[in-house]
Amino acid sequence: MSRQPTSRSCFVCGRENPVGLKVTWDQDPAAGEIRGTVTVPGHFNGYPGVTHGGIVGALLDETAGRTILMDGGFDELMVTAKLEVVYRRPTPTGVPLLVVGRLLRRSGTRAEAESELRLPDGTVTARATVLLARPPAEIVEGWAAEREHWRV
């Protein structure tokens, strides 16, 4: 297992984002998975003690998108073209959670991945299937300044 790099400012993984979740991921190429841990603070609730569904979706989206990094680095980044989330049960705040992602298929400028959010006992609270796409060149050019800050 090895740690994946993160950015400075991303809401989900940004090391320097003061209001972000600061999730880190480890990749396990042998298992074909990436795994991240997060404890969602109570101020990201939808109802008291329950993580807002948008935060759950963001965690699943980011994790699925990071599955392509097992095959490469910064130059492999894609954006979400479609996100389908199935909420199976409420995801609590203040509890250590595991988010797991797997790359299902990849071909040229597209990829499909899946992710799930798990409680400490392994119960899945939500799952997502994500279609990823290579962004237009003008978008990628805007990321160039962040490259030097993309690290473990």
Domains of the chain from N-terminus onward: 2-145 (3.10.129.10)
Query: What confidence category does residue 43 fall into, taking pLDDT thresholds of 50, 70 and 90?
Result: very high
Q: Which residues of 50-62 are buried (b: 16+ CB within 10 A; e: fewer)?
A: bbbeebbbbbbbb
Residue 126 and residue 115: Cα distance in Å, rounded?
8
Higher pLDDT, 150 or 29: 29
pLDDT tens per residue, range 7-22: 888 999 998 999 999 9
Residue pLDDT, tens place only, 63-86: 999 999 887 676 788 999 999 999
Average of pLDDT values for 97-119? 96
**Residues facing residue 20 across a β-bridge:** none
Q: Where is pLDDT greater, at 69 or 122? A: 122
Worst-scoring range by mean pLDDT, 42-46, 113-117, 122-126, 148-152? 148-152
In this structure, the dihedral spanned by the alpha carbons of residues 90, 119, 61 and 19, taken in order and rounded to 10 degrees, is 80
Kindly report the pTM of this predicted structure: 0.93
Tell me how far apart the alpha carbons of residues 132 and 68 are, in angstroms, rounded to a whole number.
9
User: Which residue shows structure tokens 């991945």?
Assistant: 113
- CA of 51: how far to CAs of 6, 21, 57, 66, 92, in Å? 23, 12, 10, 22, 6
Instruction: Give residue 28's pLDDT.
Output: 94
Q: Are strands 50-51 and 2-3 parallel, antiparallel or unpaired?
A: unpaired
Please tell me the predicted confidence (pLDDT) of residue 32: 92
> Percent of the chain scored above 90 by pLDDT?
74
Is the pLDDT confidence value at 39 over 80? yes
